[in-house]
Structure 1
Amino acid sequence: MAKLTLLTLLGLLTPTALSLRPSPGCGKTPALVTSSSTTTPLRITSNNKQREFFVRLPQNYNSSTPHRLIFTLHALGGTAQQVIAGQGGYLPYYGLPPLANSSTTPTVFVIPNGLNNGWQNSNGEDVTFLRSVLSTVESDLCVDQDLRFSTGFSYGAAMSYSLACSLGREIRAVAALSGNPQISGCAAGSEPVAYYGQHGTTDNVLPLAQARQMRDRFLKNNGCAVQAEPPVPAAGSQGKVKTVYTGCLPDKPVTFVVFDGGHVPTPRETGESETFAHKETWEFFSQFT
């Protein structure tokens, strides 16, 4: 099992906690989101198109407690319903709820549907849609607006990257699993955002070089130290190389994982019975409280 870890500089190991920024829904009884919102879609009109999304509330949701919010975005050809059910190659909600349940900060999951089963983001319309979703959810639920996150595989990774570019400091961190910098675009893209990337060495759908381009944008934005490209795991090893970059802004870390494998959302290392993707994603997200 090949691993490489580059520790952050002394004093920058733990990102600086941000001040709590409660959403307008704090202290209110939800009027829109219910426990059935994981099976019955919520709908809004964005760019003159009806769009839909689902919301998963934690058990014992408390309107006086600001919650973490995580977008979980499907891949091309996928649906929000598949992400919820854990079908079509996905773990349910990318495997994050069991890990989030152990956190002292409860988590709301938001699961939108893309147009034509993707996130082309033509003229920024998907960013506009997801901004509207944020506004709608945060007006109804109690969310810590300093703890907004997004993750997704393939097209969902590209859209998470696009959100980091477009929302900048309004989004806390993203986890891009096997993404591409072009397919959803990157409007603006100059502000620092905590960034986790993951990609396979033999990905013949979206090449590794493109994932490195995504990572490099946030290495630059986040002020990380320039360093040589780390080695990749040996072919056939089913290993991974994890790099935690040095010198980044204290609350804007960058982590990049390269694994021996192809275009898959749930890669596994040799001898492991389950994927590492959700564990690495949660390790990255959970450092922000």
Structure 2
Amino acid sequence: MSFAMPDNLSAKLIKLLSPLLFLIASEVISAPVMQTAELDGQSRSWRLFLPDGIKEGVEYPLVFNFHGTGSTPEQITELNELESLAEQHKFIVVAPKAEFSYETGGRHTWNVEQLDSPYNDVAFIKGLFAHLAQHYPIDTARIYATGFSGGARMSSRLACDLADTFAAIAPIAGVRFADNCAPAKAMPVLTYHGTQDPVNHYQHQADSPRYWHEGVEPAIQDWVAFNGCENRTTSAIRPGVTKTVWSDCRDDVAVIFYRSEQAGHTWPGSPKADLLAKYGLGSTDDLPMSDIIWAFLKQYQRQ
């Protein structure tokens, strides 16, 4: 037996049905569903996944999974297979849908730069978190964010603006530290980037995208400086791949950076990595990045 909520279920109806839905979900698997609600004056949508075997009285971690520019919640799910990992380790996944674009008819992305727009994505995510926490058994101390490309930029933005909510982030191929970034607390950060990335350039270039204001290393160094990290260790973990760990940071957080000399714009270990390469986005590595991310995120919780 399986159960799936109808698409576009209103927030009011979710509230009325949530006690019944929780009892059903506690006994059977909940298939991923798209939901829509009015949040902060915006009609917004997201994909929600609840692992099988959720039990009444138990609270579960929540991971926000942000898709890249021009992509969808379904595609980021296929790219990083986070829902399969959530089924195995029992956490909830939400993949929000972007609506902002830089120009009329342009590809949808995240309003990371907080430009004047009907779509305020920080407010959307704040409202979405409150909405989900009201209706599902979420451990509000264990809220995390990851994402690819534009989704990595969005998870970085949230670490700046909602550090009281998010316990750790893992932006892949798009880590940022905004000019106006002022996190309320130290923030654990894990990131990966290939030096051959043709989209979000490892080093800032004259032809870098309009949103790409600095290279990868300056962004990471800003997180290291903000977190007050004192020690740095670098080790080779694959041919052409190094792992750098900044430790002894404020509040026992860490900053971890996987740097690939050969990789392009990719999610390592993804079953779709070869497809990205065919689109001219460069080669990949065999790192099990989604597993690495969860092992990192689950160490942290907000007090």
Same fold (TM over 0.5): yes
CA positional deviation for 1:243: 1.2
CA positional deviation for 1:45: 2.0
Map of 1:113 onto structure 2: 97
Aligned equivalent of 1:132, options 127, 131, 136: 127
Supply the distance in 1 between the matched residues of 2:56 and 2:222 (Cα, whole angstroms).
37
1:89-238 matched pairs, under 5 angstroms: 90=79, 94-103=80-89, 106-116=90-100, 117-121=108-112, 122-123=114-115, 125-181=120-176, 187-189=181-183, 191-209=185-203, 210-225=215-230
Aligned equivalent of 2:294, options 276, 279, 282: 282
Supply the distance in 1 between the matched residues of 2:165 and 2:219 (Cα, whole angstroms).
19
Supply the distance in 1 between the matched residues of 2:219 and 2:71 (Cα, whole angstroms).
22
Cα distance change of structure 1 residues 127 and 31 upon mapping to structure 2, 3 Å threshold: farther
Residue 48 of structure 1 pairs with residue 41 of structure 2: yes
Unaligned runs of 5+ in 2: 1-14, 101-107, 204-214, 271-283
SS in 2 for 1:169: coil
Contact 1:232–1:258 at 8 Å: present in 2 too?
A: no
Supply the distance in 2 between the matched residues of 1:135 and 1:258 (Cα, whole angstroms).
35
Supply the distance in 1 between the matched residues of 2:67 and 2:244 (Cα, whole angstroms).
26
CA positional deviation for 1:251: 3.2
Contact 2:48–2:95 at 8 Å: present in 1 too?
A: yes
Unaligned runs of 5+ in 1: 1-24
Greater CA drift, 52-61 or 124-133 = 124-133
Contact 1:241–1:258 at 8 Å: present in 2 too?
A: yes
Supply the distance in 2 between the matched residues of 1:278 and 1:129 (Cα, whole angstroms).
25
Cα distance change of structure 1 residues 29 and 249 upon mapping to structure 2, 3 Å threshold: same
Contact 2:40–2:127 at 8 Å: present in 1 too?
A: no
Supply the distance in 2 between the matched residues of 1:37 and 1:134 (Cα, whole angstroms).
20
Contact 2:82–2:93 at 8 Å: present in 1 too?
A: no
Q: Deviations over 1:31-88 (max 9, x none)?
A: 599766623x21122453311012100101123111000001000110012223x1xx
Supply the distance in 1 between the matched residues of 2:123 and 2:129 (Cα, whole angstroms).
10
Matched to 1:115, the amino acid is E
Q: Deviations over 1:156-196 (max 9, x none)?
A: 000000011111132110001010527x8754336311110
Aligned equivalent of 1:29, options 16, 19, 22: 19
Contact 1:259–1:267 at 8 Å: present in 2 too?
A: no
Aligned residues: 245
Matched to 1:120, the amino acid is N
Supply the distance in 2 between the matched residues of 1:243 and 1:37 (Cα, whole angstroms).
37
Q: Tell me the TM-score normalized by structure 2.
A: 0.70
Cα distance change of structure 1 residues 44 and 101 upon mapping to structure 2, 3 Å threshold: closer
Contact 2:37–2:44 at 8 Å: present in 1 too?
A: yes
Map of 1:10 onto structure 2: none
Q: RCO (CA 8 Å, sep 6+): is it higher in 1 or 2?
A: 1
SS in 2 for 1:168: coil
Supply the distance in 2 between the matched residues of 1:98 and 1:47 (Cα, whole angstroms).
31
Map of 1:71 onto structure 2: 64
SS in 2 for 1:215: helix
Supply the distance in 2 between the matched residues of 1:187 and 1:161 (Cα, whole angstroms).
9
CA positional deviation for 1:203: 1.2
Matched to 2:96, the amino acid is P
Supply the distance in 1 between the matched residues of 2:218 and 2:44 (Cα, whole angstroms).
30
